[in-house]
Amino acid sequence: MTEREPFSIHVKVRTYELDPNGHLNHAVYHQYGEIARTELAVTAGVTEGLIKQGIGIVMLESHIRFRREMRFGDEATVTCVSRFEEDKKVFWMDNVITKLDGTVSAEIESTLGLMDLEKRKLVPGPLERIRDAGIDLDLLQGK
């Protein structure tokens, strides 16, 4: 079985996303990651499949490593790949923001969980819950 390319979106830096130094504001990198995570979740059926069960995805932590600046007009791909470990209450989604010339601009690691929307508490076994909801796990994991 051959591995497919990770899920990705295309972004282009807009003037209103710049900071006073003329490069992409740090918070916008996080927004680009969130757009990719959300699009991947929708495409894989996560949002629909889990909401029917009264479960939602929640962000618990996000860490970013800035590698190279992005400036007005720069275009990039933002990849998103999920990682799961058996018997963990959390899972991870990783983003890499890569300019079209191949330069990595930023890497984001996000820790997420699944929350019971009625009880407002994390539920155990996100991998099993996602699997049971009929969600495209291979797409989530970039396989």
132 or 31, higher pLDDT: 31
- Element (DSSP H or E) covering residue 104: strand 104-116
The pTM score is 0.91
Cα of 127 vs its chain's centroid, Å: 16
Closest CA to 33 of 56, 59, 14, 4: 59
**CATH class of the domain whose range is 8-141:** alpha beta
Kindly report the average pLDDT of the chain as a whole number. Answer: 93
Domain ranges of the chain: 8-141
Do 84 and 126 meet the contact criterion of CB atoms below 8 Å apart? yes
What is the C-alpha to C-alpha distance for residues 50 and 77, in angstroms, rounded to an integer?
Answer: 27
Do 45 and 132 meet the contact criterion of CB atoms below 8 Å apart? no
Express each pLDDT in 38-78 by its tens digit: 999 989 888 778 988 999 999 999 999 999 999 999 999 99
